[in-house]
Amino acid sequence: MNTKRFYTTLILTLILSCFALSAQSDKQKKLEKQRQQIIKEMKQINALLFTKKKEEKSAITLIEDLNYKVNVRKNLIRITNEQANLLTREINNNQKEITSLRTQLQELKDDYAAMVVKSYKSKSEQSKVMFLLSSDNFQQAYKRLQYIKQYRAYQKEQGEAIKTKTKELQDRNIQLSKQKEDKKKLIEENRIAKRELEGELKQREVLMASIKSDMGKFAAQIKKKKQEADRLDKEINRLIKEAIAASNKKAGNKSSTGKFVLTPEAKKLASNFEANKGKLGWPVSRGVIKAKFGKGRSLTDSSVEVNNPGIKIATEKGAVVKAVFDGEVSQILVIKRGNPAIMIRHGDYLTIYTNLSKIFVKKGDKVKTGEMIGEVFTNKIKGETLLGLRIYKNNKMLNPESWLTKF
């Protein structure tokens, strides 16, 4: 066996294996983090939406809650499947590596055994001395002496290589056993999740059947809800334009630029707000995002497309609303046939808290992060407590979910 070539091949194999394992390990960690986040969300959903008596909620709200839960459950199953599939690939790769390692280990042992036999046959010091003395000249004797030293070193290297390769093989076997156990656990958890999903889908079918005769009434409720949302959107857009125009006028600009004109203090506040993206505290102590930002499907009717300007957080009755960051109360919005809202300015950023029952602040108040500013409205007919949260930069809508820290 060519020692140099063998060790070069061995090193390259180890490096490539490490890179592949590292990439797979990183992906597995990322998937596991997502899975744990969804499991946490499922616990919050059960605690906030499914602990009350069904009689306290309208059928339409129950359907919305079930659809939301079903969507989250499906996402959990999908992530778990991805993890199981990735583990299958890792297990197959590991089994191939183990087969290769066993072959390499056997080659090392065979090579080492041959050297031991050869060394035994020429083990006497007299043989080594005669080998040196039979040299034709000093240079040849020197080369033969170096050869003896190199041969001894090579024997030692082969012995160490056998130890290393044996340890690597043992580690791979341990890793393989763990991977198989992890996969078994994931498959079992997915089996349970699928059973839960089947039960939820049947429950939804029963609910849908119970409201079939009242679909006209529910369609009217959905239409009314959309009209209220449109009025709120219109009023918020108007107030944002007014606030921007006022900041321009105060700065001496005759025509509005469509952006807030900032003082040095406001610039610093906006910069700090921006630096906290993904780290802002939640506006309620407990909650789950029942309606996500942007385009999506209605939780009541999946054939209906909705476009949310913010997020809706399902929380508990009597939940207190807290400011997510330092700022100044820019407006208290009072909507006709709707619930009040609070607009807080953070430089050229705005946070808007909608569907409130109580207001604890007034226009012009300076608020601190985590300060209580109001209370969420609970709809007694629907049996739900939903807080709306919007974030704007100037008049541009942003996704609040990407600004909040993970629960």
**pLDDT band, residue 179 (cuts 50/70/90):** confident
Helices 138-210 and 59-121 meet at what angle, rounded to 10? 160
pLDDT at 1: 45
pLDDT at 126: 47
Task: Indicate the average pLDDT of the chain.
Answer: 82
One domain, residues 197 and 255: no
Domain finish residue from 156, 177, 210: 210
pLDDT at 156: 67
Q: Are 385 and 378 in contact (CB under 8 A)?
A: yes
Within a domain: 220: no
Within a domain: 176: yes
Within a domain: 267: yes
For 324-361, what is the HEC assignment?
Answer: CCCEEEEEEECCCCCCCEEEEEECCEEEEEECEEEECC
**pLDDT band, residue 175 (cuts 50/70/90):** confident
One domain, residues 311 and 359: yes
| Residue whose C-alpha is closest to residue 61's, from 286, 228, 218 | 218
Within a domain: 221: no
Count structural domains, the chain: 2
Domain finish residue from 210, 237, 266: 210
Within a domain: 407: no
Domain finish residue from 148, 179, 210: 210
One domain, residues 68 and 155: yes
Within a domain: 344: yes
One domain, residues 204 and 340: no
> HSE on the CB side for 386, CA within 13 Å?
17
- Tens of pLDDT, residue by residue over 20-43, are 555 567 888 899 999 999 999 999
One domain, residues 189 and 336: no
One domain, residues 205 and 241: no
Q: Is 0.95 topped by the overall pTM?
A: no
One domain, residues 136 and 242: no
Q: How far apart are CA 107 and CA 402, in angstroms?
A: 55
Q: How far apart are CA 221 and CA 215, in angstroms?
A: 10
What is the domain range of residue 301? Answer: 228-402
- Tens of pLDDT, residue by residue over 307-344, are 899 999 999 999 999 999 999 999 999 877 789 999 99
Within a domain: 216: no
> What's the average model confidence in pLDDT over 56-83?
88
One domain, residues 206 and 256: no
One domain, residues 285 and 173: no
One domain, residues 296 and 204: no
Q: Is 313 exposed, middle or buried (0-12, 13-18, 19+ CB in 10 A)?
A: buried
One domain, residues 115 and 257: no
Domain CATH for 340: 2.70.70.10
| 282: phi then psi, degrees, rounded to nearest 5 | -75, 150
pLDDT at 391: 98
Within a domain: 300: yes
From 48-52, 130-134, 141-145, the region with the lowest mean pLDDT:
130-134
